[in-house]
Amino acid sequence: MVQPRRVTAGVCRQRVTDREEKLRRANIVSGVVLALLGLFALVFIIPKGIGEGPDGMMSPRLVPNMMMIVVVALSAFLAFSNLRAKPTPEDAEPTITRGEMLALVRIGAVFLISIALYLLLAPLAGGIFLVAASLLLLGERRPLVIIGMTAGLLMAVWLLFYKLLGTGIL
Protein backbone atom coordinates (compact mmCIF):
# COMPACT_ATOMS: atom_id res chain seq x y z
CA MET A 1 0.00 0.00 0.00
CA VAL A 2 1.36 3.37 -1.03
CA GLN A 3 1.27 6.06 1.58
CA PRO A 4 -0.15 9.40 0.44
CA ARG A 5 2.38 12.16 0.29
CA ARG A 6 1.92 14.66 3.06
CA VAL A 7 2.29 18.33 2.37
CA THR A 8 4.20 19.98 5.14
CA ALA A 9 3.90 23.54 6.30
CA GLY A 10 7.34 24.28 4.85
CA VAL A 11 6.26 23.34 1.32
CA CYS A 12 3.10 25.47 1.59
CA ARG A 13 5.11 28.36 3.00
CA GLN A 14 7.61 28.04 0.14
CA ARG A 15 4.81 28.35 -2.43
CA VAL A 16 3.42 31.41 -0.66
CA THR A 17 6.80 33.13 -0.51
CA ASP A 18 7.46 32.35 -4.17
CA ARG A 19 4.17 33.96 -5.14
CA GLU A 20 4.94 36.91 -2.88
CA GLU A 21 8.28 37.39 -4.66
CA LYS A 22 6.60 37.39 -8.07
CA LEU A 23 4.03 39.91 -6.84
CA ARG A 24 6.78 42.04 -5.31
CA ARG A 25 8.60 42.20 -8.65
CA ALA A 26 5.33 42.93 -10.48
CA ASN A 27 4.64 45.80 -8.06
CA ILE A 28 8.09 47.25 -8.66
CA VAL A 29 7.65 47.16 -12.44
CA SER A 30 4.11 48.57 -12.19
CA GLY A 31 5.23 51.39 -9.93
CA VAL A 32 8.11 52.39 -12.18
CA VAL A 33 6.00 52.24 -15.37
CA LEU A 34 3.16 54.27 -13.81
CA ALA A 35 5.59 56.84 -12.43
CA LEU A 36 7.23 57.25 -15.84
CA LEU A 37 3.85 57.58 -17.57
CA GLY A 38 2.78 60.15 -14.99
CA LEU A 39 5.95 62.17 -15.52
CA PHE A 40 5.44 61.96 -19.28
CA ALA A 41 1.90 63.28 -18.84
CA LEU A 42 3.11 66.11 -16.59
CA VAL A 43 5.86 67.20 -18.96
CA PHE A 44 4.31 66.63 -22.40
CA ILE A 45 0.63 65.61 -22.52
CA ILE A 46 -0.98 68.08 -20.10
CA PRO A 47 0.90 71.20 -21.29
CA LYS A 48 0.25 70.35 -24.96
CA GLY A 49 -3.38 69.29 -24.53
CA ILE A 50 -4.67 71.89 -22.07
CA GLY A 51 -4.35 75.62 -22.66
CA GLU A 52 -3.13 78.20 -20.16
CA GLY A 53 -6.44 79.92 -19.54
CA PRO A 54 -7.18 83.64 -19.18
CA ASP A 55 -5.15 85.93 -16.88
CA GLY A 56 -6.46 86.28 -13.37
CA MET A 57 -8.17 82.90 -13.36
CA MET A 58 -7.10 79.54 -12.11
CA SER A 59 -5.33 77.54 -14.81
CA PRO A 60 -7.30 74.65 -16.32
CA ARG A 61 -4.10 72.61 -15.97
CA LEU A 62 -4.18 72.78 -12.17
CA VAL A 63 -6.37 69.75 -11.40
CA PRO A 64 -4.83 67.45 -14.05
CA ASN A 65 -1.36 68.41 -12.80
CA MET A 66 -2.35 67.77 -9.19
CA MET A 67 -3.79 64.36 -10.07
CA MET A 68 -0.70 63.36 -12.05
CA ILE A 69 1.53 64.42 -9.15
CA VAL A 70 -0.53 62.16 -6.86
CA VAL A 71 -0.25 59.29 -9.37
CA VAL A 72 3.53 59.74 -9.62
CA ALA A 73 3.91 59.92 -5.83
CA LEU A 74 1.81 56.81 -5.20
CA SER A 75 3.58 54.92 -7.99
CA ALA A 76 6.98 55.82 -6.60
CA PHE A 77 5.82 54.73 -3.14
CA LEU A 78 4.66 51.40 -4.57
CA ALA A 79 7.99 50.79 -6.29
CA PHE A 80 10.19 51.88 -3.36
CA SER A 81 8.21 50.02 -0.70
CA ASN A 82 8.48 46.82 -2.73
CA LEU A 83 12.18 47.41 -3.40
CA ARG A 84 12.79 47.57 0.36
CA ALA A 85 10.81 44.38 1.00
CA LYS A 86 12.89 41.33 1.80
CA PRO A 87 13.40 39.20 -1.33
CA THR A 88 12.45 35.54 -1.22
CA PRO A 89 13.53 32.59 -3.37
CA GLU A 90 12.23 32.42 -6.92
CA ASP A 91 10.49 29.53 -8.65
CA ALA A 92 6.71 29.29 -8.61
CA GLU A 93 3.60 29.59 -10.71
CA PRO A 94 3.26 32.71 -12.86
CA THR A 95 2.08 35.90 -11.20
CA ILE A 96 -0.70 36.34 -13.72
CA THR A 97 -2.81 33.25 -14.25
CA ARG A 98 -4.42 32.11 -17.48
CA GLY A 99 -7.88 33.00 -16.16
CA GLU A 100 -6.78 36.54 -15.34
CA MET A 101 -5.33 36.99 -18.82
CA LEU A 102 -8.56 35.69 -20.34
CA ALA A 103 -10.56 38.17 -18.27
CA LEU A 104 -8.29 40.98 -19.46
CA VAL A 105 -8.83 39.98 -23.09
CA ARG A 106 -12.60 39.82 -22.58
CA ILE A 107 -12.81 43.26 -20.98
CA GLY A 108 -10.55 44.64 -23.72
CA ALA A 109 -12.89 43.17 -26.33
CA VAL A 110 -15.88 44.80 -24.60
CA PHE A 111 -14.14 48.18 -24.79
CA LEU A 112 -13.19 47.71 -28.44
CA ILE A 113 -16.74 46.75 -29.40
CA SER A 114 -18.09 49.69 -27.38
CA ILE A 115 -15.80 52.11 -29.20
CA ALA A 116 -16.83 50.64 -32.55
CA LEU A 117 -20.52 51.00 -31.67
CA TYR A 118 -19.86 54.55 -30.48
CA LEU A 119 -18.18 55.50 -33.74
CA LEU A 120 -20.36 53.55 -36.16
CA LEU A 121 -23.85 53.79 -34.64
CA ALA A 122 -24.30 56.22 -31.78
CA PRO A 123 -22.79 57.12 -28.41
CA LEU A 124 -25.82 55.63 -26.68
CA ALA A 125 -25.25 52.24 -28.34
CA GLY A 126 -21.64 52.17 -27.18
CA GLY A 127 -22.60 53.14 -23.65
CA ILE A 128 -25.36 50.56 -23.39
CA PHE A 129 -23.08 47.80 -24.65
CA LEU A 130 -20.21 48.84 -22.37
CA VAL A 131 -22.25 48.77 -19.16
CA ALA A 132 -24.38 45.72 -19.97
CA ALA A 133 -21.53 43.57 -21.31
CA SER A 134 -19.29 44.50 -18.37
CA LEU A 135 -21.99 43.45 -15.94
CA LEU A 136 -22.42 40.16 -17.78
CA LEU A 137 -18.66 39.51 -17.69
CA LEU A 138 -18.61 40.23 -13.98
CA GLY A 139 -21.20 37.51 -13.47
CA GLU A 140 -24.44 39.43 -13.14
CA ARG A 141 -27.29 37.39 -14.61
CA ARG A 142 -30.45 39.12 -13.35
CA PRO A 143 -32.03 40.97 -16.30
CA LEU A 144 -33.67 43.66 -14.18
CA VAL A 145 -30.38 44.53 -12.49
CA ILE A 146 -28.56 44.72 -15.83
CA ILE A 147 -31.28 46.88 -17.41
CA GLY A 148 -31.62 49.05 -14.30
CA MET A 149 -27.92 49.69 -13.86
CA THR A 150 -27.40 50.37 -17.55
CA ALA A 151 -30.30 52.81 -17.74
CA GLY A 152 -29.43 54.38 -14.39
CA LEU A 153 -25.78 55.01 -15.21
CA LEU A 154 -26.50 56.43 -18.65
CA MET A 155 -29.30 58.61 -17.25
CA ALA A 156 -26.98 59.88 -14.50
CA VAL A 157 -24.31 60.80 -17.08
CA TRP A 158 -26.92 62.58 -19.21
CA LEU A 159 -28.28 64.51 -16.21
CA LEU A 160 -24.82 65.47 -15.01
CA PHE A 161 -23.41 66.72 -18.30
CA TYR A 162 -26.42 68.01 -20.20
CA LYS A 163 -28.67 69.31 -17.44
CA LEU A 164 -26.45 70.13 -14.47
CA LEU A 165 -23.29 71.29 -16.24
CA GLY A 166 -25.03 72.45 -19.43
CA THR A 167 -22.45 70.96 -21.76
CA GLY A 168 -22.35 68.08 -24.18
CA ILE A 169 -19.92 65.22 -23.83
CA LEU A 170 -19.46 64.66 -27.55
User: In this predicted model, what pLDDT tens digit does every residue of 109-130 receive, in sequence order?
Assistant: 999 999 999 999 999 999 999 9
pTM of the model: 0.52
**Centroid of chain to Cα 103:** 13
List the one residue out of 63, 9, 71 whose CA is nearest residue 38. 71
Average pLDDT for 142-156: 96
End-to-end, the C-alpha distance of the chain in Å comes to 73
**HSE (CB half, 13 Å, CA atoms) of 46?**
18
pLDDT at 142 (0 to 100): 96
Contacts 24+ apart (CB under 8 A), 81-85: 82/24, 82/25, 82/27, 82/28, 82/31, 83/28, 85/24
pLDDT-based confidence at residue 90 (cuts at 50, 70, 90):
low
